[in-house]
Amino acid sequence: MTIQSDVYAIILLTVLLSAAMIWISKKIDKTDPLDKPKGIIVPVLIGMESVYNQVKDSVGKHYAENLTPYIVVLWVYIFTANIISLFGISSPTANFSVTLLLALITWILIQIAEFKFMGVGGYFHSFLEPIPVMLPMNIFGKFSTLVSMSLRLFGNILCGGIMMELVYSFCQFLSNSLIGLFVSVEGNVFNFIAPVIAPVLHAYFDIFSGAIQTLVFVTLTVVLIGNDIPEEYKDKA
């Protein structure tokens, strides 16, 4: 059985992020709450507070405390997975299995929220609203979130990777053509055009686009879960 290279990238990323989170959590535990934070603790606390405020605005303070850890993990994992191709490692989010699993977790949380606040009867009755003939469309709509979120992240990251491969191929062609004007060469020469053009495009396709896709996925997760929580429960302390 042949193991795809993406699997190694997924395992590597998961191990590295797990180790980093364990290390940071231990440093936070050892920090005296009465002392002023310093070092790596400062950006971590600022980031977590920003995420908490984002989650609180959508789901309320009561549920934000439970949902924030998941949203933080989404932010860190998806963004890191999106930009890891900068280091020559295939991006895990360019694998549909990964984005489907991430979207599935979010979709399950949405269904749990609907069950909790609509009740079992209300949940299944919603498939017949506004009229029973809408049952097929409501079933399709129930799963459309899962499909759209997974495909959106997968498609954008995959297309970015394909674009960069085309850029490197074109740069190699230019390098071969320019050197060929002066000397006769066989095969490929050093791709000296790529270091000039590729960094700017990497900044867009990997860093900028990776951050935008992470923001979109996380925002949709928070908003869709928040939409299923009644306002009176959001105000609950």
Q: For residue 114, what are the domain limits?
A: 5-234
What whole-number distance in Å separates Cα of residue 188 and Cα of residue 69? 49
CA atoms lying within 13 Å on the CB side of residue 72: 19
Helix 135-180 vs helix 194-202: crossing angle, to nearest 10 = 160
Backbone angles phi, psi at 57, to 5 degrees: -65, -25
Q: How confident is the model at residue 82 (pLDDT cuts 50, 70, 90)?
A: very high
What whole-number distance in Å separates Cα of residue 84 and Cα of residue 74? 15
pLDDT at residue 4, rounded to an integer: 66
What are the C-alpha distances in Å from 189 to residues 56, 80, 170, 171, 195?
55, 32, 13, 11, 14
pLDDT at residue 2, rounded to an integer: 43
Domain count, the chain: 1
Instruction: Tell me the per-residue pLDDT of 18-51, one tens digit each, with 9 for 90 and over.
Output: 998 888 888 888 877 777 877 788 888 888 889 9
Res 64 pLDDT > 80:
yes
Instruction: Tell me the per-residue pLDDT of 186-224, one tens digit each, with 9 for 90 and over.
Output: 777 888 888 888 888 888 888 999 999 999 999 999 999
What whole-number distance in Å separates Cα of residue 78 and Cα of residue 138? 30
pTM here?
A: 0.85
pLDDT at residue 151, rounded to an integer: 94
pLDDT at residue 1, rounded to an integer: 38
The proportion of the chain whose per-residue pLDDT surpasses 90, expressed as a percent, equals 27
Res 237 pLDDT > 60:
no
Position 210: which residue type?
A: G
Instruction: Tell me the per-residue pLDDT of 141-157, one tens digit each, with 9 for 90 and over.
Output: 888 989 999 999 999 99
- Mean pLDDT rounded to a whole number for the chain: 86
CB within 8 Å of 61: residues ≥ 6 apart = 234, 236, 237
Tell me which of 10-14, 32-36, 163-167 is least confident.
32-36
